[in-house]
Amino acid sequence: RYPEHDHHLAVTLEVLKPDVRGIPGKDELLALNQLCDALTHHLGGLAVPAARETGNGLRAAHFFVKASPGLDALVRRFADKQ
């Protein structure tokens, strides 16, 4: 579907207040979703969201990405702003 987006990027975040199953509460889940949406917007045309996984106290956002020499720096700049 996205032949130019032939690499995988996973960004993993720690859930701050997981329940006994490692799942965030409603407010934290909303904040995690907003953060993943903001990252998607920040990456622009370089990335296509593929999936989000939540469990064991972690949230992983998966993207299909285009090869780009500046991708690492772009993700780091986003993380530094958070």
Interval 21-57: pLDDT, tens: 999 999 999 999 999 999 999 999 999 999 999 999 9
Residue 2 confidence (pLDDT): 81
| pTM of full prediction above 0.85 | yes
In sequence order, the β-bridge partners of residue 53 are: 60
Beta pairing, strands 58-65 & 47-55: antiparallel
Beta pairing, strands 58-65 & 7-14: antiparallel
Side chain identity at 50, as an amino acid letter? Answer: A
For 9, phi and psi rounded to 5 degrees?
-125, 130
Task: With a cut of 80, say whether residue 1 has pLDDT above it.
Answer: no
